[in-house]
Amino acid sequence: MQTDPLSAKFAALADPTRRAILARLALGETTVGELAAPFDMSGPAISKHLKVLQKAGLITRGRAAQWRPCKLEPLALKTVDEWIGEYRRLWEERFDRLEDYIKTIQAKAKTEKKNAGGDEGE
């Protein structure tokens, strides 16, 4: 079955090691050896993760035969960000409603306090 590009990106991100690799590459391009160093993982295991990231378009590999540096492709994450952006207003609206509610109960508490203090001036 063919995977659509957005699903491939989400699937690639669904792994803590792959996300850690992206975090390292956000600092700059590097070799597979250097990428593998902080993980208790075999070279082939890391290569497998890199292939998933590469297939999803999240990283690219250099072409120099010996030194094939990995590079983050941040623009590939932009399409994921755009998908989530469609939902952002939903939790923002929820926070707005919560804020409105807090303001309402604060205003109510103030009015009640004022009324409890007597009807001076009337």
**Rule CB under 8 A: is residue 15 a binding residue for a second copy?**
yes
How many other β-carbons are positioned within 10 Å of the β-carbon of residue 1? 2
> How many degrees, rounded to 5, is the angle at CA 38 between CA 32 and CA 44?
45
Binding residue for a second copy, selected from 4, 40, 100, 120, defined by CB under 8 A: 4
Element spanning 46, H or E: helix 43-55
1 makes contact with a second copy (CB under 8 A): no
Q: Does residue 97 belong to the site contacting a second copy (CB under 8 A)?
A: no
Cβ pair 17, 39 in contact under 8 A: yes
Contact set with a second copy (CB under 8 A)? 4, 6-11, 13-16, 19, 22-23, 26, 72, 74-75, 77-78, 80-81, 83-84, 86-88, 90-91, 94
